[in-house]
Every structure is written in C-alpha cells, then in structure tokens.
Structure 1
Amino acid sequence: MPARRKDPAIPAGLKIMAPEPAVRLAKEAEIGGLGLDWSEQPEMLDDVGLAEWERLAGVFAHDATRFREGERAAITAYCSWWSAFATAAADVRDRGPVVEGRSDMDRGRLVKNPATVAMREASQQLRYWARELGLTTDARVRIGLADQGDDKNDDDNPFA
C-alpha cells in the first residue's frame, strides 16, 4: 500500500474533531437502534419476568442508550430465564432438593427434584445473557464499561 501523502494545506498536529452530537447519535442509531423504550414491556413475560424487566428499567433509566432497541430480544430472553430460575428455585425451596419418586421404578424412594435440573439450565442461560448484556462486573470490564465510582482521577494511583 503506498504511503499517505501529506497535504501541505493542513497544519501539522491538526486533530480531527469529533462529529457533532446529532451526527454521532444518528450513526449510533444505525448500529443498534435508538435507546430501549423500557415502558414497552414484552407481553410474553410472566409476573416474575416483568418484575425483572422493571428492575432493569429502574437501574438503567439514567442511561438512555445503555441498551438499544436492537437488544430488546436479548433482554427479554434474560428476563424469561430469570423467571424460569425463580420458579425452579421456589420449587426446590418448597419441596427440597430430593422428592418422592413418581415413576413405577422410583416409587417409595427419594429422587433428585427435577427442578434442580431446571435451575441449572436456567442459571447457565442467565450467565450467558448477563455476560452478553454486560450485567456482571467481569462483562462490564471486558466490554470497557466502567462501574459507578470507577471514574476517579487516577493521578494519585501509582499502579494506574
């Protein structure tokens, strides 16, 4: 690739200015859509899933573009798996980790509560979606989002 020629009309050290906020917002909207409208709740969520949706809405209400409309399905999936986890956890809490067997082979003996399997599957999906959406500390660090209070001046930190 040939070397770039310098334009003698442009002074050395000239920096390109960031685009105006309206232009920047328009480009961001092309990428993932506008900020997520939290008031438009997915109809498929049950009460537990809606409660998690509302909790997330409250947490991210101050950050209009933290989530975009393009991420609505992912957040809905996270809330659905949260509901599945909570339902299975309630069953394990109420009936215990082992229950009386229901099949002919298992009658009269205790077996693992099937809800423990549902909890494990739901927890794996929750971890996946939490990472994907940047809802964990590790995920936020990985995608370059600082937590509240991390924006301190590092001038006093010799390790920064």
Structure 2
Amino acid sequence: MPARRTNHQLNIPEDLRILTPKVVQAAARDAEVGGLGLNWAATPDILDAVGLTEWRRLEETYRAEPVRFREGDRAAVAAYCSWWSAFAVAAADVRDRGPVVEGRSDHDRGRLVKNPATVAMREASQQLRYWARELGLTVDARVRIGLADTSETNDDDNPFA
C-alpha cells in the first residue's frame, strides 16, 4: 500500500487544507483560553475621542498579531485606553494651567494651590502602569510573559553578547 501524501506534498494552499484533530484541538484550547482574536472594529462605547485614538493605535500596532489580544482581553484593553484618556486630559490641564493654580475655595482664595489635575495624572499613571503590565505593553512585561522583542540586531558587533 502506498504511503499517504501530506497536504504539503500535494501543494494544497494553506487555507484549503483539511484540519487535523491536533489543529482543531489547539484552536478549541485557544478559544477557551481567551476567545478568538480581538475584534478591533467593535469599539467600546465608553471610550471618548482620546481613548478611541489609543484603541486605534493599538489596533494598528498589533495588526500583524491577530491573537495578541483576544476577546477575553476586551475589558482590559478598554480600561487601558480609558485611563490613557484620563491621563491625557489631566496632563493637558497641567500643561495649560501649570502645576499650581489659584485656589477656588474660601480658605484658599488668593493663594496658589496644587493643580488638582496633578492628582488625576498620578492616579491615571498608576492605573496605566498596571494595565500596561497586565497587557504586556512594556518591555519588562513582555520579557516576563515570554514575548521577546524581535529586533534584528547583529550580535557580532556587541562585545557583551
């Protein structure tokens, strides 16, 4: 009896190949772990223009990695984008009015006080750091979860490599 020929030997295009049980099981396991790749087109209603811009930036950045974020990550990505927006708004206020502003309460009237937006910036930056780590958006987080940066470097010129 002749040996069975594989899809590769028959030159069958990848998208027309019959799925083996191993491939089907892997796809099912991936879907259980966090769902299929994140549908970036379904934008969360909670995002304002700044948050939506960050959502689109992430979409563009990770377009080549369709399952880098999964549907199970939707809330985390939306939270990251929301905190980005909060940080950007607070930072713009500090940029425009400065780190100190004229007091508005009866007790503070006529003197300079810390701009309340600096507190909002600090809170937002803490949340951004948390969500960036959680989503693997920082160098440290990518190393921790095993997503090495794939930059093409020549280690022959590096004496420390």
Over 2 Å off, 4+ runs: 19-23, 152-160
Instruction: Quote the offset at 1:159 in angstroms.
Output: 7.6
In the other structure, the counterpart of 2:74 is 72
1:139 aligns with 2:146: no
Q: CA deviation at 1:148?
A: 2.2
**TM-score normalised by length of structure 1:** 0.81
Match of 1:95 in 2: 97
Structure 1 residues 97 and 157, CA gap change in structure 2 (3 angstroms): closer
Q: May I ask how many residue pairs the two structures share in their alignment?
A: 141
Alpha carbons of structure 1 residues 20 and 156: separation in structure 2 relative to 1, 3 Å = farther
Q: For residue 97 of structure 1, what is the amino acid of its counterpart?
A: P
TM-score (norm 2): 0.81
**How far does residue 154 in structure 1 lie from its aligned partner after superposition?**
8.1
Question: Distance in 2 between the 1:156 and 1:112 partners?
Answer: 50
User: What is the aligned partner in structure 2 of residue 21 from structure 1?
Assistant: 23
State the alpha-carbon separation in 2 of the partners of residues 156 and 138 from structure 1: 24
What's the counterpart of residue 83 of structure 1?
85
State the alpha-carbon separation in 1 of the partners of residues 26 and 126 from structure 2.
Answer: 36
Shift of 1:70: 0.3
SS in 1 for 2:93: helix
TM-superposition CA deviations, 1:11-47 (whole Å, max 9, x none) = xxxxxxxx73332121110111111011110011000
Identity of aligned residues (%): 74
Whole-Å Cα distance in 1 between the matches of residues 23 and 50 of structure 2?
Answer: 38
Q: Secondary structure at the match of 2:43?
A: coil
Where does the alignment leave 5 or more consecutive residues of structure 1 unmatched? 1-18
Partner of 1:42: 44
Q: In 2, distance between residues paired with 1:122 and 1:141?
A: 24
Report the AA paired with residue 43 of structure 1. D
